[in-house]
Amino acid sequence: MDYEPVIGLETHVQLKTKSKMWCGCANAFGAPPNTNVCPVCLGLPGVLPVANEEALRLTALTGLLLNCTVSRHAKFDRKNYFYPDMPKNYQITQYDKPSTMNGSVEFEFGAGMARVRITRAHLEEDVGKNFHFDRTSGVDFNRAGVPLMEIVSEPDLTSADMAYEYLNALKDILVYGGVSDCDMEKGMVRCDVNVSVRPRGRKELGAKIEIKNMNSFSGVRRALEYEIPRQIETLEKGGKLIQSTRRWDDVAAVTEEMRTKEHAHDYRYFPEPDLMPFQPTAAWLQEVSRRVVELPLARKQRFMRDYQLPASDAQTFVWDAALGNYFEGIAKQAKNPKAAANWVINNLRAKLAESGVALGDLKFQPGAILELIELVDSGKISGKIAQDVFAETFATGDAPARIVEKKSLAQVSDTGAIEKFCEQAIMANPGPAADYRAGKMAALNFLKGQVMKLSKGKANPALVGEVLERKLKG
């Protein structure tokens, strides 16, 4: 039988706030264990949470970026369970009235586009981190109470690759929106992967199996590449799948069962009594909506359309937004935006990397790149000389035209001068000249090279070719 996978992802993202969700402790990574803590995030008795407004704003902003409805009446709930990294013994989250609902993400997939519906994006808090040493265990509560957003997708994903692309698209959007740095190394994005299989064409979903706590996108893809065939094989052998939770063992590259899934009622959700429901005003939402940015995909498509760039250049300008903004600053005046993109991507970016200079600290005006392109297009200097001129412009801030002038780098297009160089080259190299006359075309390139040398690279190469041929034939 032919089976199809069905995948839904629950993605947890740490929000980019200065302080934690319910207290003033720093939301920072890498501090010594248990130094960013206070009675609130340690769950000591008698304390009260105060919601971090920026986290509420970032969640609403995410809703807008993901085409969700932002709720005018959201609330917080307690999700009760015991785990050593969670000192309150409950997590504050949003259960039945989340901040945002019913959105979608569009992304490039294969040769076309894919769209995944978003069930909800809600706000909750992160937990601490357990460490297991040789004979003891420890808990670091620095992460406890860090604002965490959970983005739940509908089961619209149909392959491991699609899940991977969706996660990357989601990450790009969140980074663009300034919602999260999404630094995977720092564990800022983690996801639970829900996957089932069903006979192709059937409506009902198969038993949902959840792979918990994945911390890399490639891990998600690999786990799915293992889990999907495992489920199909189980069914084909006549076995049954039941709703359960598994973990991914990255070293053995297998998933293994942890437990059969708890149900919602096990958590004894109830409204958080220490927090008011959150009812944003129209003015508050208006303020948040001002922070909506152009999405990465829209930017890519716009760069391709408005500046006739190939997809790869446009993608470079999406990933390196600052470089893209710089490009846009000159592209509007450029006669040939593609040439400007080449200079920015191939030359400027390389110089920035090699010198360690920041884009904001350039010594020259952006217009210098256009000037350089004009110098090449008009035949004033060769592409090769242009590279040297750019290096000098980059180092000194001098305008390209000035450098060309000062160093007399202008291409020699004066036929008289070129004729002289050609005559000299032919005289000095009778062998190659004879070869050319005998029909060896390659000899012409050699002679051309000699002329270029004599002119110190300044002769107009096209003209040199013409004059040489004329002289050799004549």
Q: Which residues bind ligand ADP (CB under 6 A)?
A: 6-10, 152-155, 194-196, 205-206, 208, 264
By beta-carbon proximity to ligand ADP, the closer residue of 102 and 429 is: 102
3-state secondary structure of 58: helix
By beta-carbon proximity to ligand ADP, the closer residue of 9 and 404 is: 9
d(C-alpha 357, C-alpha 374), whole Å? 25
73: which residues sit within 8 A by CB, 6+ positions away? 97, 277, 278, 279
Beta carbon of residue 178, minimum distance to ligand ADP (angstroms, whole number)? 25
Report what 152 binds from ligand ADP, Zn ion, none; CB cut-off 5-8 Å by kind. ligand ADP
Backbone angles phi, psi at 251, to 5 degrees: -75, -50
d(C-alpha 254, C-alpha 161), whole Å? 18
d(C-alpha 215, C-alpha 188), whole Å? 8
Report what 418 binds from Zn ion, ligand ADP, none; CB cut-off 5-8 Å by kind. none
Identify the DSSP state of 345.
I
Beta carbon of residue 4, minimum distance to ligand ADP (angstroms, whole number)? 11
Binding map of Zn ion across residues 20-49, x = CB under 5 A, - = no contact: ---x-x------------x-xx--------
d(C-alpha 429, C-alpha 434), whole Å? 9
Beta carbon of residue 199, minimum distance to ligand ADP (angstroms, whole number)? 14
Helices (H), strands (E): how many in the chain? 16, 14
By beta-carbon proximity to ligand ADP, the closer residue of 148 and 381 is: 148
By beta-carbon proximity to ligand ADP, the closer residue of 53 and 257 is: 257
The DSSP code sequence of 311-327 is HHHHHHHHHSHHHHHHH
Count of residues for the chain? 474
d(C-alpha 44, C-alpha 40), whole Å? 6
Report what 180 binds from Zn ion, ligand ADP, none; CB cut-off 5-8 Å by kind. none
Beta carbon of residue 215, minimum distance to Zn ion (angstroms, whole number)? 24
Report what 23 binds from ligand ADP, Zn ion, none; CB cut-off 5-8 Å by kind. Zn ion
CB of 446 within 8 A of CB of 410?
A: no
By beta-carbon proximity to ligand ADP, the closer residue of 166 and 436 is: 166
Residue 5 CB neighbours (<10 A) = 22
d(C-alpha 275, C-alpha 51), whole Å? 8
Report what 153 binds from ligand ADP, Zn ion, none; CB cut-off 5-8 Å by kind. ligand ADP
By beta-carbon proximity to ligand ADP, the closer residue of 46 and 239 is: 239
Residue 38 one-letter amino acid: C
Beta carbon of residue 310, minimum distance to Zn ion (angstroms, whole number)? 49
Report what 194 binds from Zn ion, ligand ADP, none; CB cut-off 5-8 Å by kind. ligand ADP
Beta carbon of residue 312, minimum distance to ligand ADP (angstroms, whole number)? 32
By beta-carbon proximity to ligand ADP, the closer residue of 263 and 290 is: 263
Beta carbon of residue 211, minimum distance to ligand ADP (angstroms, whole number)? 11
Report what 197 binds from Zn ion, ligand ADP, none; CB cut-off 5-8 Å by kind. none
Chain-centre distance for alpha carbon 463: 46
d(C-alpha 87, C-alpha 227), whole Å? 34
Report what 41 binds from Zn ion, ligand ADP, none; CB cut-off 5-8 Å by kind. Zn ion
By beta-carbon proximity to ligand ADP, the closer residue of 163 and 348 is: 163
Backbone angles phi, psi at 109, to 5 degrees: -145, 125
Residue 264 one-letter amino acid: A
Question: Which residues in this chain contact Zn ion in the complex, by CB under 5 A?
Answer: 23, 25, 38, 40-41
